[in-house]
Amino acid sequence: MSLPDGVERRAFDGEERLATRGTPVYGEPTDGQWRLWDARRSKLGAMLELGMDTGLSAEDRVLYLGAASGTTVSHVADFAGPTYAVEFATRPVRDLLDAAEDRARLFPLVKDARKPETYAHVVESDLDAVVQDVATSGQARVSTLNKQFLAEDGRLVAAFKARSEDVTADPDEVFDDVLAELREDFEILDTERLEPFHDDHLGVVATPK
């Protein structure tokens, strides 16, 4: 499995696990300057643990949708370049702001990922990656709306939650619908269910058409 530069496997309690070099954010274990990246608390971490080729690399310019309290996006900012963190819910934003204090490359935006026009004047164009983890209906639509920020060879790296679309539907059917919608605007490069780390989630890597 190829990990992005700046992401390594380190020993925590005798087990090799993902880690980035940075200031701890959510009470995670550390090994010197390295902090555990817990795949059970991070969809992107799970994608890396499962061997998905995300295409992410050091110094990438990233738009992160659904930053929440900063658990995952702080790891991204540890190895990536400028990282724009979009989060709409006010409750976790304070923690996100705290995570950004020690990370000069992390830029929190209290915005709605479904309304990219509200942050288009701040976020760069031709970004290397859009990383998405938004727990809302219309997740594929969010990807399409934010495609405008990606370079032609950029990557969408997204985790889709079946129950955010339809609590009662079979997750496989939900994911089929999500992928069908995505294929209108993206070429799908890789997909993987995120069990055992996250139930009823699908990891997707895609590039704009």
- Measured between alpha carbons, how far is residue 150 from residues 59, 83, 89 in Å? 15, 13, 24
pLDDT at position 170? 96
Other Cβ atoms closer than 10 A to 143: 26
Q: Is 191 annotated as a binding residue?
A: no
| Residue-wise pLDDT tens digits, 20-74 | 999 999 999 999 999 999 999 999 999 999 999 999 999 999 999 999 999 999 9
C-alpha 34/C-alpha 37 separation (Å) is: 9
Nearest to 111 by CA among 61, 64, 62: 64
Q: Strands of 127-132's sheet, edge to edge?
A: 106-109, 83-86, 62-65, 127-132, 150-161, 201-208, 186-193
Q: Is 149 annotated as a binding residue?
A: no
| Residue-wise pLDDT tens digits, 138-153 | 999 999 999 999 999 9
Residue 1 has pLDDT above 80, yes or no: no
- Tokens, residue 107: 């830029």
Q: Is 207 annotated as a binding residue?
A: no
For the chain, the domains span 39-208
Residue 172 has pLDDT above 80, yes or no: yes
Q: Is 72 annotated as a binding residue?
A: yes
**What pTM value is reported for the model?**
0.96
The CATH code for residues 39-208 is 3.40.50.150
- Measured between alpha carbons, how far is residue 109 from residues 6, 67, 72, 75, 84 in Å? 24, 9, 15, 17, 7
Q: Is 133 annotated as a binding residue?
A: yes
Contacts of 193 (CB under 8 A, 6+ apart): 201, 202, 203
Q: Is 153 annotated as a binding residue?
A: no
Confidence of residue 2 (pLDDT cuts 50, 70, 90): confident
Q: What is the mean pLDDT of residues 95-105?
A: 96
Which value, in Å, is the radius of gyration of the alpha carbons in the chain?
Answer: 16
Q: Is 135 annotated as a binding residue?
A: yes
Q: Is 166 annotated as a binding residue?
A: no
